[in-house]
Homo-oligomer: A and B are copies of this chain.
Amino acid sequence: MNLIEEFNAYRSKMNERIMDSDNLVIKRFFNLDTNTYAEGALEVKTKEMIGLACSMVLRCDDCIKYHLGKSHEAGLGRKEIFEVFSIALVIGGSIVIPHLRRAVEYWEGLEKQGNV
Contact = CB atoms under 8 A, between A and B. Distances in A.
Nearest to A108: B17
A73 interface: no
Contacts of A86: 23, 25-26, 29, 36
A51 B18 contact: no
A101 B11 contact: yes
A26 B82 CA distance: 8
Contacts of A28: 28, 32, 35
B104 A17 contact: yes
A2 to B, nearest CB: 16
A110 interface: no
A68 interface: no
B95 A63 contact: yes
Contacts of A100: 18, 26
A55 B61 CA distance: 17
Given A32-B25, A50-B53, A91-B54, A42 B101 contact: no
Given A21-B104, A36-B25, A46-B49, A60 B15 contact: no
A80 B86 CA distance: 23
